[in-house]
Structure 1
């Protein structure tokens, strides 16, 4: 155990009750790992998938950042404390990123935000990819002044930080909330689905879309890692869900990881695997949102630094698209074709052009700050639009 961990509550005046953290109190994770210090580490890919990363640090980092994962319980408590050991990313030459936000909801309504102290920092040198871990102590997140009476409490964990859950304290007993009653929406996508520059996990576009649709979200958005990996497809296949969506394209372009000849069969294989576990569930395929640097210019994308800020630039040549290199427009055309052809035998398969969530006019109004990722206001717009398009009348996820 870390000698720096002090389990004492931050307020001596409160009569605290400690509740063991178990999987019954967690939502949105695909797997929970019990750590050496007795905590819980949420994962958004199972151990079998994690064994097939090939040592890739990007996907390992992304799946361990608990976007969409929340602690959920019933209680009469008016004060809650959560001990956590966070691991935060830092980038040399770039100002420190804001602390991850823990967002409190009471009976489905936002009721407060907090950040955790302490924690580890993984410092990345983007010029050569090297990493250094700087260890730190366990911290605490505290919410006080909750409404009196029995209520459902949700604490959404940060999408930007790995979060090891160490302890839960309240000033009244806690009970688990039985799952059920709401449909489960399983979503996979890139860093934009993961969260990019949203204010919190609860205000990413998938979380806002789920709230609009009245469904339970399982977010498998993996920053930099929506690459049609077979291990991700198998994880989606094996995760119970009523609704499934996959948003693919941008990472394949900005990584320059695939050519058109390989892309089509890879999409078919990805969808085939999902259908093995979800043969009749509504399955929505989303193409990339508008991103000017890659609309007609292939990758890879490379970061450029100026005045402590980072912006991405496409390094490919538009002429290379004629030889099979992928651009966003090439991907949209191919995805639309594939879905149209497959839908002849799969009436529950749907396609949505990502530009309906964020298009050229949106870029003029809410430009991508780093040329790649939407900001918090754009996430809200995308979530509202997805809620209307997917869950509204005639939408692929509309309730029967």
Structure 2
């Protein structure tokens, strides 16, 4: 952990300088008059090396080095050598006039407190117990995709994170459990298995699932199922959701099948609750017992991909009549369960593995910052997102079974608009 302190310190200074440019009157971090004394000591433990000015002076037990004191200290006498004005040898003679300390303005005190909070936030990512060094380095290793031109900043209405799970088979080994069902006969091009918009505000979060069969004009072109948009790249997915649904996107996250498996393995499985035993021969799902069930990575993947979900009710096989909509609901249930596992995990080794798996598994946009991730993680930790499915109706177009938006979908979509 100590090895990363200069990185964090440097990044804080850089980030704070950006804030200074955007908000006139706000100080940089650390303030310039503190840079000389807040350093990393020879034993790599960060602590003040010299007595700081202002109301902090006198609170530190460590005696300052008179050869390395801040030049702007209140006790420095104009016209005298630095070594002769150090606090340890200031003349106690009351006849010697001294300048009274200036009272600190309340605003400056509040701003200093905010910088302390910012520094503390970087020590622990989202309260999960992950060292800032690990979180920072992992964040820097995530693959980025250049889509900043089609993203919008977070607004007072919140931030929208677009989560896309693709059916890419890259990284799936032929000898892996259920590999035959996962790999199948192969597909032409890449498609999105999961499309979810997570809206994050100060009041909480909610997620909107878009069925893969939703029929929309793709990237201002001809209408297709929305899951085909990813074949044109992430920008096409973002533009389609923005132009056709009026939902702007602030951050983009993409994960493939292999990454999904690694993430579930890292947390040791995910526990869900099902009302009846269930199976899907097409996806390989096999859950013979009702109630709480712990899904390993293979069964978790089969669960979220199942389109022929069948339950055993009173000895009878009952297929899910909702097809893709039922699949969307199960995906939301699983994501909530996975978030619950992550936010309640307190083993730092497990969290570190999960963090590493996420870095290897996901692709992130080129605009989202480390601070944005902190904000998102903290909001999700305060409560699991509410689940919403866009209202649709079945239709047949050109012999294809698709889903179209219902007239009442506008009310739901409006809840996720941030511009």
Q: TM-score range by the shorter chain?
A: under 0.3
Larger helix percent: 2
Q: TM-score by structure 2 length?
A: 0.26
Larger strand percent: 1
Q: TM-score by structure 1 length?
A: 0.27
